[in-house]
């Protein structure tokens, strides 16, 4: 019986780890907000969509070192995407984030990127 409780706790921790809001890095008081944008895509029936968000955007440049990336799910019922940092991130001047939605659920995420001043 004790093993079943431990397995349930493990699954609960895993569910929290795959929450829709994600954070990479730590923001300091001297960091500057370099990007504040909302990413929205409508739902497609019976399809799980995958989107990539690149920092900086295509044909743009960034010479500041990223210190923190915050992805905040705007859905109130935690049906947001599973986020994965694919390349770059804190300590680099670029980043690429993969956002995979749940089936038949759209995307509504606010992206905040902080850089060292």
pLDDT digits (tens, 9 = 90+) for 48-76: 889 998 888 777 778 889 999 998 888 77
Pick from 13-17, 31-35, 65-69, 86-90: least confident = 13-17
Exposure string for 24-45, b = 16+ CB within 10 A, e = fewer: bbebeeebeebbeeebeeebee
Q: Is residue 44 part of a domain?
A: yes
Please give the residue range of the domain that contains residue 89.
20-115
pLDDT for residue 58? 75
Q: Is residue 10 part of a domain?
A: no
Q: Is residue 8 part of a domain?
A: no
Mean pLDDT of the chain: 81
Q: Is residue 6 part of a domain?
A: no
Q: Which of 100, 33, 101, 38 is nearest to 67 (CA)?
A: 33
Q: Is residue 49 part of a domain?
A: yes
pTM of the model: 0.74
Q: Is residue 74 part of a domain?
A: yes
Q: Is residue 89 part of a domain?
A: yes
Q: Is residue 76 part of a domain?
A: yes
What is the tally of structural domains in the chain?
1
Q: Tell me the sheet residues that pair with 109.
A: 39, 73
């Amino acid at each position: 019986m004790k093993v079943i409780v431990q397995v349930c706790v493990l699954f609960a921790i895993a569910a929290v780890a795959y929450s829709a809001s994600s954070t990479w890095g730590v923001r300091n008081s001297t960091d500057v907000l370099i990007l504040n944008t909302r990413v929205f895509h409508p739902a497609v029936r019976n399809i799980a969509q995958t989107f990539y968000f690149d920092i900086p955007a295509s044909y743009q440049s960034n010479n500041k070192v990223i210190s923190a990336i915050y992805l905040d799910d705007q859905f109130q019922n935690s049906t947001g995407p599973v986020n994965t940092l694919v390349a770059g991130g804190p300590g680099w001047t670029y980043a690429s984030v993969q956002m995979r939605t749940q089936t038949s659920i759209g995307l509504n995420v606010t992206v905040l990127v902080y850089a060292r001043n």
